[in-house]
Structure 1
Amino acid sequence: MAANALEVRSLTKVIGRKKIVDDVSFSVHKGEIFGLLGPNGAGKTTIIRMIVSLIKRTDGAVMVNGNNLDGQFKETMSEIGAIVENPEFYKYMSGYKNLKHYANMAIKDVSDERIKEVARLVKLEDAIHQKVKTYSLGMRQRLGVAQALLHNPSLLILDEPTNGLDPQGIREFRDYLHSLAREGISVLVSSHLLSEMQLMCDRFAIIEKGKLIHISSMNETMDEAEAAEVVFEVSNSKKAVELLKGQAAAANVKVITDDQFSVSVEKSAVSTINKLLIVNDIDVYGISRVTATLEDRFLEITNKEVKEA
């Protein structure tokens, strides 16, 4: 058995003289949610379109469960379920009839029981016989996932799946993807909504101008922040800020209130600042670290890439 559900090797797309995707490689482990992050136009959708063979690759290889897409096309594609952009359905037909229509086109046999099963999985069993034109956007997205799951794939690929969903719909969709991952289905999802991806993904890659510039687990990335904002609760915040302004280890020192100030420091410098405050007769009542967001890390990583370039 292959260790990875998906392996992308040196994926490249050239149109004219322009490289839209430039030598991108990554893997998706079995049972994990892997995110492709990047601004609009970074190349995320092009990567996904190449993976599912909607457009040709200029170079590179795609492996699904150890099988090469080029050498075993039908077998490999049968392991993939995908939604690229918005799912489209016949609105005058019911959700069930739409799924039945797609089931008739599937390579694998899809039973009526399987249609009912995926309807339950996406929590549409009570509305599956209603016409799609009566569905909310969130319900249509879930019907799209049901369609992608009909043939029981091991890999689900979703391109900007939360576009247009309200906060409740986004949360329900995220919880649903987590339940799929717990059942062993691997998920590749692309998005530019960083706050949502932080809650959704186990690992992620950042795509910038067609290149992969960072890849890691979500936990590792949050822990790798170069400097964290730390809030000190003290007896005299103005005196403390004046004292710290001359310290090389402390950056962006600012008064919040009369008894609170914040400073950007590495973890190892927190105790040094605490001792310095106490030695200078400033009482310290509390120290708290402001947790970095994925947006903070994304900007830190992409800005660093720009400077190095």
Structure 2
Amino acid sequence: MSQYALEVRSLTKRIGKKLIVDDVSFAIEKGEVFGLLGPNGAGKTTIIRMIVSLINRTKGNVVINGYSLDDDFTSAMSEIGAIVENPEFYKYISGYKNLRHYVNMAKRKIPESRIQEVIKLVGLEQSIHQKVKTYSLGMRQRLGVAQALLHNPSILILDEPTNGLDPQGIREFREYLRTLASEGMSVLVSSHLLSEMQLMCDRFAIIEKGKLIHISKMNETEEAEKTAQEFIFDISDPVKAVSILKEHGLDKEFKDLNDQKFSLALQREEVAKANELLVTNQIKVYEISSKKATLEDRFLEITNKENKEVPV
């Protein structure tokens, strides 16, 4: 069995003379939440539609849990659970009856115990027997996830799953995805909401103009500790403090924030040295805090770099 839940190999989509997706490759490990990031129109939905075979590929292959779409289409598709657009249900019957309807159409035999398991997993035990027309958008999204999980797929694929959800619904949905991942489910999720993806994903890929321009882990704390980071100083005498720090070469990327605060780009050991110098010189240090780079900062840094490298 493959070590990857999903492998995308040189995926390409051309419509006429227009190149929509350009030679995209990535792999998703088992139990991983993997994010596809990019602005609207970047090609994220086209990539997902090709993976789930809603549209044809111009070139490339997709392998799901070891099964190639080209060589064993039925087995490959049976490993996928997906919500590509807003999930649709029969609104005048209950959530449970909607799931039973899906089970009756499924090629695999799905026992009642599995239905109850996914209902519990998505947190719909209290409302599963209510009519779907009474459900909030967040509840319908959860019912959609339950339906996608019924046949026990290897990977769950979600395209912009938090669209239209309120902040509480987004938070709940994020927690459900983390629960799924903790139980071994792999998840591919696309979005343009960078702040949410930062909380949701283990790794991410940036798609811009149909190209994959960057892949990395979401949490790179070890690497961050090795490089300079922005620290904010809240102290009693900023003018004197900056003068002292400058004498010791600790005034890199100085930014004056207000009467008592400034920021510097320092490594962790340099922060300790700066604090010691300030205290020794009778300057009161009220707070030193690190300003962690957000996913938005990294996204803009990466995309701006990419744009500068493209010849005009």
TM-score under structure 1 length normalisation: 0.90
Query: What SS is found at the alignment partner of 2:36?
Result: strand
Q: Is the 8 A contact 1:8 1:62 kept in 2?
A: yes
Shift of 1:58: 0.6
1-structure distance, mates of 2:159, 2:86: 8
Shift of 1:179: 1.0
Q: Is the 8 A contact 1:6 1:27 kept in 2?
A: yes
Letter in 2 for 1:142: R
Letter in 1 for 2:138: G
1-structure distance, mates of 2:142, 2:95: 10
Which stretch of the first structure deviates more once superposed, 213-222 or 154-163?
213-222
2-structure distance, mates of 1:119, 1:5: 23
Which stretch of the first structure deviates more once superposed, 228-237 or 80-89?
228-237
Query: What SS is found at the alignment partner of 1:251?
Result: coil
**Partner residue, 1:203:** 203
**Partner residue, 2:121:** 121
Shift of 1:288: 2.3
2-structure distance, mates of 1:273, 1:253: 16
Alignment of 1:154-169 (within 5 A): 154-169=154-169
Would the alpha carbon gap of residues 56 and 45 (structure 1) be closer, same or farther in structure 2, given more than 3 Å must change?
A: same
Say whether 1:74 aligns with 2:69: no
Alignment of 1:108-257 (within 5 A): 108-220=108-220, 223-224=223-224, 228-241=229-242, 250-257=252-259
Alignment RMSD (CA, Å): 2.4
Q: Is the 8 A contact 1:254 1:263 kept in 2?
A: no
**Partner residue, 1:47:** 47
1-structure distance, mates of 2:9, 2:51: 11
- The gaps in structure 1 that reach 5 residues or longer are none
Q: Is the 8 A contact 1:222 1:297 kept in 2?
A: no
Letter in 2 for 1:39: P
Q: Is the 8 A contact 1:222 1:292 kept in 2?
A: no
Q: Is the 8 A contact 1:158 1:190 kept in 2?
A: yes
Q: Is the 8 A contact 1:234 1:282 kept in 2?
A: no
2-structure distance, mates of 1:19, 1:73: 25
Query: What SS is found at the alignment partner of 1:257?
Result: coil
Q: Is the 8 A contact 2:250 2:270 kept in 1?
A: no
Q: Is the 8 A contact 2:9 2:61 kept in 1?
A: yes
Shift of 1:257: 3.1
Q: Is the 8 A contact 2:241 2:283 kept in 1?
A: no
**Partner residue, 2:300:** 299
Query: What SS is found at the alignment partner of 1:118?
Result: helix
TM-score under structure 2 length normalisation: 0.90
1-structure distance, mates of 2:98, 2:270: 60
Say whether 1:263 aligns with 2:258: no
Aligned residues: 307
Say whether 1:86 aligns with 2:91: no
